[in-house]
Structure 1
Amino acid sequence: MKNRLISAVKAGQAVLGWDDATYRSVIARVTGGKTSSTKCTLEELESIKEYMHQQGFPRKTKKHGRRPNVAMTRKAVLDKIEALLTDAGRPWQYAEGLAAHMYKQHIIEWLTDEQLHGVMVALVNDARRRKRTP
């Protein structure tokens, strides 16, 4: 766990564009004197990471769910489904719900090619409906 937090803090340093002096001064300020992330406790590393989030280091979120893993032959259809979901601001769970409603199968990977295409068509129709509505 500590190594993950150290990696996150180092990634935050890179994303925020901090040089070594800035990075070490932030660690010293947040921890009360320590200048190396390897010397910090878990709580101190969490505090440093939180400070970096406040400074603009983006949080890692999974608000759109897990992208299904399908065979290469079905990847084009899945890419289109992902684009339609993104355009509508909907998570992957929406496509899974469509699949469950249409085919009684909520796991995208288990759909046949025809069923996967049907989910894509339903999302295309939804996109058209949204564009007509003011």
Structure 2
Amino acid sequence: MSAMTSSNPDRLRYIKLIHVARRELRMDDDTYRMMLAGMNGLDGATSTADLSVPNLVKVLEQLKQRGFKVRPNAAGKRPKANDEQSKKIRSLWLTLHGLGAVRDPSEEALGKFVLSMTKVSALQWLTAVQASRVIENLKQWQSRVTHKEGV
């Protein structure tokens, strides 16, 4: 693994998009590497493994200029996280909705809440520590709401 490889979900998402773009544009390996080598600001890198997130964005933009169009995946949604912590987070979120503290009970709204707390936009990508923090935050929120209303 290179020094650039990290657990940054944006980085992984851009790398996957770049590979999808290459496939859709029918770009062979040599052509792709030549494109990278010829791009300004990439310091001659010929692999996504060597690129930072801002440079991955530049590569994706270059592929868009060549005709690639980013589309949502098949259903436009990713499958829901199904681990125990994610189920607990979702349950607390829906409970808060039932108590009137959360306006929008959707998975998308929950994702935005999780993002604001953890800088991670989907339950699937949370570490156990991050998920625990979200759970504790939701429990405290629920406690404040039920205590205030005397429920």
Using structure 2 for the length normalisation, give the TM-score: 0.39
Structure possessing the higher relative contact order (Cα contacts under 8 Å, 6 or more residues apart): 2
Using structure 1 for the length normalisation, give the TM-score: 0.44
> By percentage of residues, which structure has more helix?
1
